[in-house]
Amino acid sequence: MTWTRLDDRWTDCTKLADLPYEVRWHYLSMIQFCSRTDRLNGVLTLKDARRCSDIDDPDEAHRALVGVGLLEALDGLLRLVEIDEHVPPPSVRNQAEKTKIRMRRSRGHKAGDHSMCLPQHCEKAPVTSQVTRNPGTGQDRTGLALQASRSEEVDSDDDRPFLAAS
């Protein structure tokens, strides 16, 4: 679920005061469209901006909003100037993502799937050791070469006197 922040005094905003109801409605619809589609920068294509609400003349609404400084016309795009006041702040967005992960773990745990469980919270959680190096696959056959060279060293006649002397 997405949400839009509106100050309690948002309807008293002086920029909105002289605008017709339809223009204010369209502006709110554009804010909610940005919230719903994660357009945190407030940039909309003209096509999307026109479709945000069902008013008769969205282009006239856009001109009125540009005129009061709530909307900025870019090259084929429109940008909601005060979008940061209406979308969730980064702290809330990050918390929402953490909640999604936590709930996914919880649902899996309740269903008997403990693959996502954390060891500190579930006895059945998979315990993995910390790997500090890449042990490789062993398929490059370097191990055979090492074994062969070691066995040659032991079987070599040159090594026997040394071994006998020590």
Q: Regarding the domain delimited by 10-85, which CATH topology (the fold level of the hierarchy) does it fall under? A: Arc Repressor Mutant, subunit A (1.10.10)
pLDDT at 90: 79
Low-confidence ranges of the chain (pLDDT < 50): 156, 159-166
Q: Are 24 and 77 in contact (CB under 8 A)?
A: no
Residue 31 near residue 83 (C-beta atoms within 8 A): yes
pTM: 0.59
| Model pLDDT, residue 2 | 72
Domain ranges of the chain: 10-85, 89-126
pLDDT value of position 163: 45
pLDDT in the model for residue 164: 47
